[in-house]
Amino acid sequence: MPLRILVVDDSIVTRTLIKEFAECFGHQVVAEAATLPEAVAAYQSHKPDFVTLDLSLAEGDGLTVLKALRGLDPKARILVVSGNVQQEVHDEVQSAGAAGFLSKPFTLDDLGRILTRFSQG
């Protein structure tokens, strides 16, 4: 089943890459956001099935966005996508409710495996 995805990243290049990769697997990016307010508004407007979220944002941080989205919807499925691979960061996002973690840089296959897993339930 195709996912409706919200991509939260302050880099338009990364947002475009994730969008193109997701579309390769038959999914649809319904909204993009670069900041906490944009992410919250997009989530409320579009009710996506899945969110990709960068931890490093120009305005604020992804952990705050993660907590805000989980506060709106405790069942939100949020994949953290980050170049920060420190174990304590993994632990912190997992305890905040992230559904998974994808390290940057990633490949089409890396993202495809995750999207396939989440689209199947």
Structural domain boundaries in the chain = 4-106
pLDDT tens-digit series, residues 39-61: 999 999 999 999 999 998 888 78
Tell me: cis bond preceding 74? Omega within 30 of 0 counts.
no
The CATH architecture that domain 4-106 belongs to is 3-Layer(aba) Sandwich (3.40)
pLDDT tens-digit series, residues 6-20: 999 999 999 999 999
Residues 6+ apart with CB under 8 A from 9: 15, 18, 32, 34, 52, 53, 54, 57, 81
Per-residue tokens: 1: 């089943």
The pTM of this model reads 0.94
Per-residue tokens: 106: 């990633």
